[in-house]
Amino acid sequence: MSPREKNLLLLFGAAGFIILNVFVFRLYVQKRAEVTAARAVAEQALEQAHIISERREEVLDDMEWLGKHEPAPAAYQDIQSSLQQLIEREAQIAGLTIKPNSQKLLPTDQTDGNHYHRVKIQVTVTGTEKALFEAWLGRLNNPGQFRAATNLLLKPDNTDDTKIDCTAIIEQWFVPASVE
């Protein structure tokens, strides 16, 4: 082989080596970008997993409480009548007067698919501030029995300045009895 052929062969070898290096470098850059993107996705998934884990710990106590205090399934009418009787009984015990024709059975939340349904009763009572807040509302608001006064409208009584007219919406959440 002549020296010119050797130089030409060496030149083609060097050119092939350079082209091969460029090809491998592009492949390396592409794979590195894929790995970087996959790592970013994995870090985001890990962060979400940490958030879910922290949230789970927060909710776990609530779920345990709910498991201990969940009411037995009951019919809507039974819950409604027992709530109405409770409102009247507690008002009488607290020394409050229920205004005539003030009790209203409000539309209830009985959406299919919801685990809890709710009964709502609106009532207007008259009495002293202490009897209203400490005795009546204090006994009606009972998270352990899934009951709360969710709306209060307070006005001074028109006839007696020492009394308050309170229009309250009392709600009771319950598990509906299954229809079979």
Which residues span the domain enclosing 53?
A: 1-69
Closest CA to 164 of 115, 122, 125: 125
Confidence band of 113 (pLDDT split at 50, 70, 90): low
Confidence band of 180 (pLDDT split at 50, 70, 90): very low
Please report the pLDDT score of residue 66 as a whole number.
81
Greater pLDDT, 58 or 40: 40
Q: Which of 43, 69, 95 is the last residue of a domain?
A: 69
Q: Does residue 102 fall inside a structural domain?
A: yes
Calculate mean pLDDT across residues 142-151: 90
Does residue 29 surpass a pLDDT of 90?
A: yes
- Residue for token pair 């009771």: 172
Does residue 110 surpass a pLDDT of 70?
A: no
* Tally of structural domains, the chain: 2
Please report the pLDDT score of residue 109 as a whole number.
67
Q: Does residue 179 fall inside a structural domain?
A: no
Q: Are residues 100 and 60 in the same domain?
A: no
Q: Are residues 119 and 41 in the same domain?
A: no
Q: Does residue 98 fall inside a structural domain?
A: yes
Q: State how far the Cα of 121 lies from the Cα of 107, in Å rounded to an integer.
A: 9
Residue 4: phi, psi to the nearest 5?
Answer: -70, -40
Kindly report the CATH number assigned to the domain that includes residue 130: 3.30.70.60
Q: Is residue 102 a contact partner of residue 124, using CB atoms and an 8 Å limit?
A: yes
Does residue 105 surpass a pLDDT of 90?
A: no
Q: Which of 52, 69, 86 is the last residue of a domain?
A: 69
Closest CA to 144 of 81, 91, 68, 93: 68
Confidence band of 21 (pLDDT split at 50, 70, 90): very high
Confidence band of 111 (pLDDT split at 50, 70, 90): low
Query: One-letter amino acid identity for 55?
Result: R
Please report the pLDDT score of residue 120 as a whole number.
92
Q: State how far the Cα of 5 lies from the Cα of 1, in Å rounded to an integer.
A: 6
Q: Are residues 97 and 169 in the same domain?
A: yes
CA atoms within 13 A of residue 83's CA, in its CB half-sphere: 31
Q: Does residue 156 fall inside a structural domain?
A: yes
Q: Are residues 83 and 152 in the same domain?
A: yes
Q: Which of 34, 52, 69 is the last residue of a domain?
A: 69
